Structure 1
Amino acid sequence: MHVVILAEFASPSGGAEKVAVESARGLAEAGLRVTYVQGVAGPVDPLLDHRNLTRICLDLPDVWARNPVAAAVAGIWHARAARALSDAIGGMARAPDVVHVHQWTRSLSPGIFPVLLATGAPVALTLHDYFLACPNGVYYRFDTAEPCALAPMSAACILAPCDARSRLHKLVRVARTAAARRAVSGRGLHVVHVCDASRARMGAMLGGYGLTHHRIDNPVRVAPGAPAAPERGDAVAYVGRLTREKGADLVAAAAREAGLTALLVGTGPLEAELRAMPHVEMLGWQAPEAVQAVLRRRARALAAPSRWFETGPLTVYEALAAGIPVVASDRSGAAEKVLDGTSGFVVPPELAALSAAFVRLADDARVAAMGRAAHGRFWAAPMTIARHAEASAALYAGLLRTRRDAMQHA
């Protein structure tokens, strides 16, 4: 089987491309032929170096790094990207049996979908975000700092000043979402959800477009090992971009109320504000190996109090795999992997609830028991790269069987 993986980048700077890279590697190690197609030139993760894996770079610009008019046009429908992708697929020694898309909004645009669907191969799109339904991609109102309750692409949605940048930027994104919906409607696109909550929410948003929905956990790049000893930690850790929608400010404020140190790993627009707060220790960006070492040494728990309906933040799974309790937002899809009161706490992303959970982390015996439970529950059903590849390969085989049966009965 020849699988084409399509993403914007070949080196992880966020969760979606990390999943794309790790999925490609896992499939290659499982014996499948994999072609990894990246939109934008840049660093290449060593995981993509494998005898069963070929990499193609389309050498496209990041649309948002261009002048505003060119960015708007390319963001809505990037004709050059469509041509480059068509040429790349046409030049492959073997036609793809399955195409799996992980990213499409930074260099590719909705223009890629007609090209992919015209190949005749089943096309899957992992929904790491909400862009296929929601113009700003996160189903969150940046103007009111709360989750959105509007029907995506309704008149109220189009008029809402919810974008993180500007009203004009929102209108460009509205046009892009409309173009994407037209490009995939009724064309047999398969969408893959990374959590149960996202499947339920997005299924309701995207009804009537002829999509087929599937569910596969994100992979986590971890190896079996002894659990951490979180009861020895001295801080509550936060790992990720320092933004309000991800709740970095909540971690800092709740840690202060609970008398704990907030250990913040990452960078972002709230950096200066958070650095000035008491009980905060800033580590900046860290390589994945360094993050794991810091968590094992310092963290009593990992906090992930997302205000938006985050789909599947990998940091939650990585903490659980290490035997570190997690305090997760009840709006996050990753919360479904946390057993409230046993392997961590699931709370609303509010200061009082979060600080109350942090206070309970003062009990060493409780934290130790939660760490052991987190480790045991994760490894009882591990979300490893190999398991992800196995689930993905099974999905692809099923899609090919369905297509073959349909052709035989046509």
Structure 2
Amino acid sequence: MHVGILTNFATPTGGAEKVAIESARGLAERGVAVTLIHGVDGPADPMLDHPGIRRVGLGLTDVWERPAWRGAIEGIWNREAARRLGRALAALPDRPDVLHLHQWTRSLSPAILPVLARSGLPLAITLHDYFLVCPNGVYYRFDRAEPCTLRPFSARCLAASCDPQSRIHKAVRVARYFAQWAAITRDFDPRSTNRARVSKRGFAPRPIDLVHVSDGSRAQVERFVKGIPFLHHHCIDNPVRLARAAPADPAAGDAVAFVGRFTREKGADLVAQAAHRAGLPSLFIGDGPLADELRAVPGAEVVGWRAPAEVEALLRRRARAVAAPARWLETGPLTIYEALAAGIPAIASDRAGAGEKIRDGETGFVTAPEVGALAEAFGRLRDDALVRRLGAAAHVRYWSAPMTLAAHASALCDLYAGMTGAAEAPSFQRSAVM
């Protein structure tokens, strides 16, 4: 089998690229030929150094690095991206059996969707966020600091000042949404295509296989695309790149840890405030706009970004628990899964996909993203015996059905087999026992 993976970058600038790169490696190690097509050129992640992986850069520019007016236009519809992708696919020495799109908002834009449709190849799209159905991508009211309750692109949605940056940014994202759905319905919906048009355009519409990374995010998206027959839904866990090792001893740690970007929607401020209220130090690995605010909270320590191996070592040494109390409906934060794999208790928001992997009171806690509720959970971490028991149970449960790169690649191969007709549509074996 030959799989074409498409994403914005060949380095992990975010979760989407990280998963795209790791899935490319996992598939290659399974013997699948992989062509990774990335919009922006530059250094590639060492994970892509494998004889089974071919890299093709399109030489595009990140829209965030463009002047605002040009970035807006290219973000909505980048004609050059479409042209270059079409040429790249045509130039491949062997035709892929399936295409898998991971992210398109930073360089590729919705303009690539007609190109993918005209290829005639089965297409999968992993939804790492909610941009398919929501203008700001996270289904969250930044103006109110709470999850959105409006129907996407209703009149009230369009009028809401919900974008994290400005109304102008929201207007651009709304325009991108309409461009995206115009392309999807025109080129993938068989109901909008007659025989003459199929013959003229030279391809027949195919369904799109949407890959969700948690049951919660799948349910959220399905609410808004219910009844669209050419969208097929699947759930495949993101991979966790941790080798099995002896469980950590979280009772020897001193702090509640937060790993990632320090933003209000991710709940970084909640961790600092709740840990202080519970009488525990807090440790922040990463960076973001709340960094100075976090440093001002007594007991909070900010250490900046670290390499993955350093993060693991630091958590094993310092963390009594890892917390991800997202205010938004986070799809599936990897930090929680990595904590469980290391044998460290995890505390997640009841709004996040990560909560599905925690057995409340057994491997960690699932709680509302509020200071009071978190402080109560953090307070329980002062009990060494409980922390040690939670960590041991987390390690055992995680490794009974691990979300390894090999398991991820196996699920993808099952998906591709169903898409290409090489097998019956699979029933995925997910790590639901956590």
What residue is the counterpart of 1:338 in the other structure? Answer: 358
Shift of 1:118: 1.3
Among all aligned residue pairs of Structure 1 and Structure 2, give the percentage whose two residues are the same amino acid: 60
Alpha-carbon distance in structure 1 between the residues aligned to 2:210 and 2:424: 20
**310, 315, 326: which is aligned to 2:346?**
326
Q: The residue matched to 2:360 in structure 1 has which SS?
A: coil
- 2:21 counterpart of 1:2: no
What residue is the counterpart of 1:139 in the other structure? Answer: 139
* Paired residues of 2:99 and 2:123 also in contact (CA < 8 A): yes
How do residues 276-355 of structure 1 correspond to structure 2 at under 5 angstroms?
276-355=296-375
**265, 274, 287: which is aligned to 1:245?**
265
* Paired residues of 2:417 and 2:424 also in contact (CA < 8 A): no
**Structure 1 gap segments, 5+ residues each:** 406-410
Counterpart amino acid of residue 404 in structure 2: T
Q: The residue matched to 1:284 in structure 2 has which SS?
A: coil
Structure 1 segments (4+ residues) deviating >3 Å: 402-405
What residue is the counterpart of 2:194 in the other structure? Answer: none
Deviation per CA, 1:228-281, whole angstroms, max 9, x where unpaired?
Answer: 000110000000000000000000000100010110001000111111111101
What residue is the counterpart of 1:377 in the other structure? Answer: 397
**198, 208, 213: which is aligned to 1:189?**
208
Shift of 1:42: 2.3
Deviation per CA, 1:205-229, whole angstroms, max 9, x where unpaired?
Answer: 1224431111100001011111000
How do residues 46-195 of structure 1 correspond to structure 2 at under 5 angstroms?
46-185=46-185, 186=189, 187=205, 188-195=207-214
Relative distance call for 1:108 and 1:366 in structure 2 (3 A) is same
Deviation per CA, 1:143-170, whole angstroms, max 9, x where unpaired?
Answer: 0000000001111111110001100110
Shift of 1:89: 0.3
What residue is the counterpart of 1:262 in the other structure? Answer: 282
Counterpart amino acid of residue 306 in structure 1: A
Q: The residue matched to 2:408 in structure 1 has which SS?
A: helix
Q: The residue matched to 2:35 in structure 1 has which SS?
A: strand
Alpha-carbon distance in structure 2 between the residues aligned to 1:293 and 1:301: 14
Shift of 1:65: 1.4
Alpha-carbon distance in structure 2 between the residues aligned to 1:350 and 1:385: 34
Counterpart amino acid of residue 204 in structure 1: R
Alpha-carbon distance in structure 2 between the residues aligned to 1:132 and 1:161: 19
- Return 365-374 or 198-207, whichever deviates more: 198-207
Deviation per CA, 1:307-357, whole angstroms, max 9, x where unpaired?
Answer: 000001111111100000001000000110000000000001000000000
- Return 258-267 or 12-21, whichever deviates more: 12-21
Q: The residue matched to 1:227 in structure 2 has which SS?
A: coil
**Structure 2 gap segments, 5+ residues each:** 190-204, 426-434
TM-score, length basis structure 1: 0.97
**Aligned residue pairs, count:** 405
TM-score, length basis structure 2: 0.92
Q: The residue matched to 1:99 in structure 2 has which SS?
A: strand
Shift of 1:403: 10
Shift of 1:404: 11
Alpha-carbon distance in structure 2 between the residues aligned to 1:404 and 1:22: 26
